[in-house]
Amino acid sequence: MNLKNKKVLITGAGGFIGSHLTEQLIKSGARVRVFLRYNSRGDIGYLNEFNKDVLDNIEIIRGDLKNMDSVTRAVKDVNVIFHLGALISIPYSYVDPRDYADTNIIGTLNILKAAQEQNTEKVIITSTSETYGTALYSPINESHPMQAQSPYAATKISADKIAESFNKSFNLPVSIIRPFNTYGPRQSTRAVIPTIIYQALTGNKIKLGNLTPKRDFTFVEDTVKGFIKIAESDNSIGETINIGYGETISIGELVKAVEEILGKKLIIESEESKNRPDESEVKLLLCDNSKAKKLINWEPQVSLKEGLKKTIDYIKEHLDEYKEERGNI
């Protein structure tokens, strides 16, 4: 499927990955509609960073994923749905798991039901590598067992399974993209890489939780290309596809990588409050991306070092905004 001139819907478009995907789809010539959670401030998230001429090419629909009427209005007459809308902070899922279930599970069900009723040509559901939990074997392929080590992960597993059922039961053309740890410009300090970079740019002490977990970090440009290739390919229908770089690094080693790029000595201070509960901590994620390479001809292009440099440059230019968001979970 060529996305040029196709009408596409992006849920979660005001977020980190969603805003980058929105930007790229506009450049690709798609007719873009975004679904944003209603708020009285009229806040459009990271879409605020777009130039007016770009924003003028976006149709904005406001509502709530939990509300079927809102979702039906958003899905009407679109060819392709990119469903990224979700509650994503793992720490907050310990505080309010019901809200995660309502948004991530019921919200996804509403998207699927509306797509079924509208005969949507393609639906891409956004999963997460957190559904795998700590690796039982490595690298992790799509056949790896799912393990709900946080309420967030449990809701994403449920959403994935509902999506699978709509493909098998109703022949809805669904694909599931399972990104590993995406990072890059616009990501908030809720995530570890911006947290490290912000602290490194404003001092030399880095306050972190557990330093030993290993993650597979993928630059946001590569993740977005994965979304688009999955949408374009008929081979992806009914499939779950990992999108990850294919290398792993510990959080402690990540600090060293930032230290090397900035050319300054960083001191790590442990904060117990930042640690996940022991049984909830995912200790190792390493992506087997061979299916993506074979099925949709995707492979990552941006190295960790290059991606960190781009992210550092962005945060340098937006230090005041990052200062305002400190303390988010």
Question: How much is the pLDDT for 9?
Answer: 98
pLDDT, residue 327, reads 47
Q: What does the pLDDT average to over 249-278?
A: 87
**SS3 category, 45:** helix
Residue with tokens 């300054």: 264
Q: Is residue 238 part of a domain?
A: yes
Query: The domain containing residue 139 runs over which residues?
Result: 7-184+218-245+286-302
| Mean pLDDT in residue range 146-162 | 97
- C-alpha closest to that of 221 among 3, 6, 30, 16: 16
* C-alpha–C-alpha distance, residues 319 and 27, integer Å: 28
Split at pLDDT 50, 70, 90, the class of 328 is low
pLDDT of 136 above 80? yes
Is 166 a domain residue?
yes
| Token reading at 16 | 């980190």
In this structure, is residue 327 part of a structural domain? no
Q: What is the pLDDT, as a whole number, of residue 53?
A: 84
CATH number of 21's domain: 3.40.50.720
Give residue 270's pLDDT band: very low, low, confident or very high (50, 70, 90). confident
What pLDDT is recorded for position 271? 72
- Domain tally for the chain? 1
User: For 27-38, how does the pLDDT look when each residue is reduced to its tens digit (9 = 90+)?
Assistant: 999 999 999 998
pLDDT at 323: 75
Handedness of CA 44, 114, 32, 303 (dihedral sign): positive
pLDDT single digits (tens) 5-55: 999 999 999 999 999 999 999 999 999 999 999 887 878 999 999 998 889
Residue 169: predicted pLDDT? 98
Binning pLDDT at 50, 70 and 90, where does residue 280 land? confident
- Confidence at 274, pLDDT banded by 50, 70, 90: low
Domain membership flag for residue 273: no
- With respect to residue 205, please indicate whether it lies within any of the assigned structural domains: no
Q: Which residue is listed with tokens 């809701």?
A: 155
With a threshold of 0.85, does the pTM exceed it? yes
Evaluate if residue 113 carries a pLDDT over 70.
yes
pLDDT score of 275: 66
Mean pLDDT value across the chain: 94
141, part of any domain: yes
Other Cβ atoms closer than 10 A to 188: 17
C-alpha distance from residue 134 to each of 21, 92, 146, 187, 286 (Å): 28, 20, 10, 24, 10
Residue 180 covered by a domain: yes
Residue 156 lies in a domain: yes
